[in-house]
Chain A
Amino acid sequence: MRLIALLLLCLCATVVWAGQTTPFKLDIGQGGKCVKDPEWMRKNHMQLLKHQRDEAVRKGARDDKVSLKTCVECHASTKDNSVIARDDSFCVACHRYEAVKLDCFECHSGVRKSYWLKRNAK
């Protein structure tokens, strides 16, 4: 049921924003130069993540350049070190706007690893 809803929403949500501005508030964290240009990433980041995930999990080919951890490292908010903590967090803001379910962080940590290690060392 949830899956059908998700598929339908994916089909509907083909809106790609023109220009550089987003119609909602978005905390891009540190940002900086991404592995691909932002326009491409907006449309295709899931393909990149999916490909990388199969390579890393099943073959052990860990390309840190395109790993989810590295995404979080750059894009976690500088305020709370997370990509999912708030409504305007990097992943949440967009996914909410597009109404696409965000499934990664049920298992993956949405927190910057460096911060997580520091906090858990205490």
Chain B
Amino acid sequence: MATLSALHTKNKLFYLLLALGGLMVLAGLYAVHMMEEHGHIISGMNNQIVWGLPHVFAIFLIVAASGVLNVASIGSVFGKTIYKARAPLASLLSVAMLAGGLTVLMLDLGRPDRIIVAATNFNITSVFAWNIVLYSGMFSLVAVYLWTMMEQCMNCWTKPAGFAVFAWRFILTTGTGLIFAFLLARQAYGSALLPPMFIVLSFAWGLAVFHVVQAVIYAWNEKVLDPTILQRKKNLLGIFVLGSLYMVATYHFTNLYFANRVEFEHFILFDGGLFPNLFWWGYVFFGNLIPLALIYLPGLGQTRCVMAASMAVVLGAFVFLYVFIIGGQAFPLSIFPGFEVSSTFADGQINEYHPSVYEFLVGIMGLAIAFMITTVSVRVLNFMPQDKHYIAD
């Protein structure tokens, strides 16, 4: 039993964490203000690398927000008890990360003051415009879902709400993948494989984030997670990591088969300087092989290993997105296939990107927002998973 003084320390720690998060949000807002004042010239983004670090953070948060709901879906849609107990926490994380990601995306716009224009002028053919609907729909659906779970007289509606969220999140991640899949001219994108790839990636990233947060909450409340539960969830993470590795491999293999994309694949996988290193060491080795080893190697796989594996998956996700988004734009767009080209506008050249502290702060702000929403909610509402004595389904 915690003593009174221990509780006091904890209280202080809580407010300290909150203040830290708030400080990070403030720093982000300062960066946004500077970018408003001086324009994007103070960021590392330019006319060749038009999307940079903020988009890496935002897309991670949005994809993981969709993936974390997997935990809830397994509970509500497939009726697994241990996941059902975790559905509220998963939904909360989803809303928090979605809020963080969207804030970053919105504040990186050239004219964030005009965001209302995006709501009043709707271009039906734009996947960005669809995504605006998908994101706001996701917010409301998850909110309703949470309500049906937390309000006891609404419990009977949990299943239909869970189904709706389940379907919606598939469409949402498809929409995120389509943003890139629709870029017909770029060698790095323009592939129908991207939406399913993002869905599988979201499973792994979402579950990894969930593991980390869950472990922190259990530690905070001085509770121990039933090892059998961890065992099952750890295996699931392993399968998702293998699945995402498979999707990424397929994407690169198909590209390697198309003669007009071979050059790009060589760039991103072998001779593109930073990018192949990040891809092989950062993503494949650190973000996939290490977690797989931590999960499956005999003798490993305890709580601490699963935590480490999850964190490695999250870091690997950032590296993957950096290579995917920045590397994809760094490779010169082929306007004249079969020709050697040169111009004043970087045609035929590898594009350089040197992120500035401002865009980094904007990106970090997304994480901080997600962190603050989660921390405050977990404290004021009951999101702690309540496990009955574990019985196999």
B is a partner of A: yes
Residues of A within 8 A of B (CB): 1-3
B151 located at the interface, meaning its Cβ lies under 8 Å from any Cβ of chain A in the complex: no
B113, B115, B116 — which one has the most chain A CB atoms within 10 A of its CB?
Answer: B113
A1: which B residues are within 8 A, CB to CB? 113
Residues of B within 8 A of A (CB): 113-116
Name which residue of chain B comes closest to A101, CB basis. Answer: B113
6 A-B pairs with least C-beta separation: A2-B113, A3-B113, A3-B116, A3-B115, A3-B114, A1-B113
B114: which A residues are within 8 A, CB to CB? 3
> Shortest CB–CB separation between residue A68 and chain B, in angstroms?
18
> Shortest CB–CB separation between residue B347 and chain A, in angstroms?
28
> Shortest CB–CB separation between residue A105 and chain B, in angstroms?
15
Report the separation of the CA atoms of residues A3 and B114 in the bound assembly, to the nearest whole angstrom: 8
> Shortest CB–CB separation between residue A102 and chain B, in angstroms?
13
Name which residue of chain B comes closest to A5, CB basis. Answer: B113
> Shortest CB–CB separation between residue B37 and chain A, in angstroms?
12
Report the separation of the CA atoms of residues A1 and B114 in the bound assembly, to the nearest whole angstrom: 10
A3: which B residues are within 8 A, CB to CB? 113-116
Report the separation of the CA atoms of residues A121 and B114 in the bound assembly, to the nearest whole angstrom: 36
Report the separation of the CA atoms of residues A2 and B114 in the bound assembly, to the nearest whole angstrom: 9
CB<8 Å pairs between A and B, sample of 6: A1-B113, A2-B113, A3-B113, A3-B114, A3-B115, A3-B116
B113: which A residues are within 8 A, CB to CB? 1-3
Report the separation of the CA atoms of residues A1 and B112 in the bound assembly, to the nearest whole angstrom: 9
B116: which A residues are within 8 A, CB to CB? 3
Report the separation of the CA atoms of residues A1 and B103 in the bound assembly, to the nearest whole angstrom: 13
> Shortest CB–CB separation between residue B248 and chain A, in angstroms?
39
> Shortest CB–CB separation between residue B28 and chain A, in angstroms?
14
Report the separation of the CA atoms of residues A3 and B119 in the bound assembly, to the nearest whole angstrom: 14
Name which residue of chain A comes closest to B115, CB basis. Answer: A3
> Shortest CB–CB separation between residue A4 and chain B, in angstroms?
10
> Shortest CB–CB separation between residue A54 and chain B, in angstroms?
11
Report the separation of the CA atoms of residues A3 and B106 in the bound assembly, to the nearest whole angstrom: 14
Report the separation of the CA atoms of residues A3 and B118 in the bound assembly, to the nearest whole angstrom: 13
> Shortest CB–CB separation between residue A103 and chain B, in angstroms?
9
> Shortest CB–CB separation between residue B7 and chain A, in angstroms?
38
Report the separation of the CA atoms of residues A3 and B115 in the bound assembly, to the nearest whole angstrom: 9
Report the separation of the CA atoms of residues A1 and B113 in the bound assembly, to the nearest whole angstrom: 7
Name which residue of chain B comes closest to A1, CB basis. Answer: B113
Report the separation of the CA atoms of residues A39 and B115 in the bound assembly, to the nearest whole angstrom: 32
> Shortest CB–CB separation between residue B196 and chain A, in angstroms?
38
> Shortest CB–CB separation between residue A15 and chain B, in angstroms?
24
Report the separation of the CA atoms of residues A1 and B33 in the bound assembly, to the nearest whole angstrom: 11
Name which residue of chain B comes closest to A6, CB basis. Answer: B113
Name which residue of chain A comes closest to B33, CB basis. Answer: A1
> Shortest CB–CB separation between residue A12 and chain B, in angstroms?
19
Report the separation of the CA atoms of residues A2 and B29 in the bound assembly, to the nearest whole angstrom: 13
Name which residue of chain B comes closest to A2, CB basis. Answer: B113
Report the separation of the CA atoms of residues A3 and B112 in the bound assembly, to the nearest whole angstrom: 9
> Shortest CB–CB separation between residue A9 and chain B, in angstroms?
14
Name which residue of chain B comes closest to A103, CB basis. Answer: B113
B115: which A residues are within 8 A, CB to CB? 3
Report the separation of the CA atoms of residues A3 and B116 in the bound assembly, to the nearest whole angstrom: 9
Report the separation of the CA atoms of residues A1 and B116 in the bound assembly, to the nearest whole angstrom: 11
Name which residue of chain B comes closest to A7, CB basis. Answer: B116
Report the separation of the CA atoms of residues A11 and B47 in the bound assembly, to the nearest whole angstrom: 39
A2: which B residues are within 8 A, CB to CB? 113
